[in-house]
Homo-oligomer: A and B are copies of this chain.
Amino acid sequence: MRFAVEASLTYDFAGPCEVLLLVEAAHGPDQVVHSEALTFWPNVDAVRVDDPVTFERRTVFTASGQVNALYRAEVEVMLRDHDLTDAPAMAVRDLPSEVLPFLRASRYSPSDRLERFVDREFEGLEGGRKVQAILDWIAAHLDYRAGVSDAATTAIDTLVDRAGVCRDFTHLVIGLCRAANIPARAVSAYAWRLEPPDLHAIAEVYLGGRWRLIDATGLAPIDGLVRVATGRDAADIAFMTIFGKATLVEQSFSIGKIG
C-alpha cells in the first residue's frame, strides 16, 4: 500500500538552539520512499545525521524565533506481518551484532524487573506464540486512556496502573518481550486510520531473522504503518528534541492512502 504522509510542526524557539527532528520516513527494506521533502519556514541551517544501521533519518537544525518544519512524503509500505504465530524464536548466538542491545533493559522498559512476571505468566511458550500471548495479556488487562501517564511513566508503572496511551503500551510490550529474551524495540510511525491522527508509538520484535512490527494498542492496521524512528524506547524516538527552550505553536501529523 502507498501512503501520503505529512508532518507540520511550528514552534517558537527562545534564542538560537539546536533541534533534532525525527519525522522523516525511514529508508529501509520494508518501505520505499518514492518522493519526499522537508522544508523550513523561514529557512534554517540544517544537517542530516542519518543512521546507516536502523535506516532512521535524522535532521538537526538550529532555530531562533518561530519556525515551521513541514515534511511531506509518498511511501510504499511492504512486508508487514499480520500473524506472528509461526515466527520462530532465535538463539542469542544467531542474533546480528546490532540486535543484541535490544535484549537490554532501557529507561522506560526496565525488562530486568519483569523477568519473574514473564516466567510466571507466559511459561512454556516460544517465539511468535509468546509475543502473541503477551499482546493478548495486554489487551485483556490494560485500558487505553489518556491522563494516567506522563513523560516519566515506565513499563513498571503501566503494569501497575493498568492503563496508558500508545507509548505506555509499547513500553510494556517491549519490556515483557525482552524479559522473555526476545529482542524488542520502539518505533514511531505515521499510522493510517489512527484516530485522532498522531505519530504513533509501536514496537517491533526480532523473530525468525527479521524485525516485525506489533501494535499492542490494536488502534491502527499493521500494514498502514509508515515507520519513522527506531530506538530502545521513547527516549530515543521523540519526534523533536530541543536543546534549549521552545513553545509549541501548532503541530499536526496526517496520513492518507493513495490509489
Contacts and interface: CB of A to CB of B under 8 A. Distances in A.
Contacts of A162: 116-117, 120
A100 interface: yes
A180 to B, nearest CB: 10
A224 interface: no
A60 B90 CA distance: 13
A124 to B, nearest CB: 15
A138 interface: no
A100 to B, nearest CB: 6
A152 B62 contact: no
Contacts of A18: 91-93
A107 B160 CA distance: 17
Interface stretch (A33-41, A50-58, A70-78): A50-58
Contacts of A101: 231-232, 236
A139 interface: no
Interface in A98-117: 98, 100-101, 103-107, 110, 112-114, 116-117
Contacts of A62: 93
A131 interface: no
A133 interface: no
Interface of A: 18, 20, 47, 49-53, 58, 60-62, 91-93, 95-98, 100-101, 103-107, 110, 112-114, 116-117, 120, 141, 143, 148, 150-152, 156, 159-163, 181, 231-232, 235-236, 241, 243
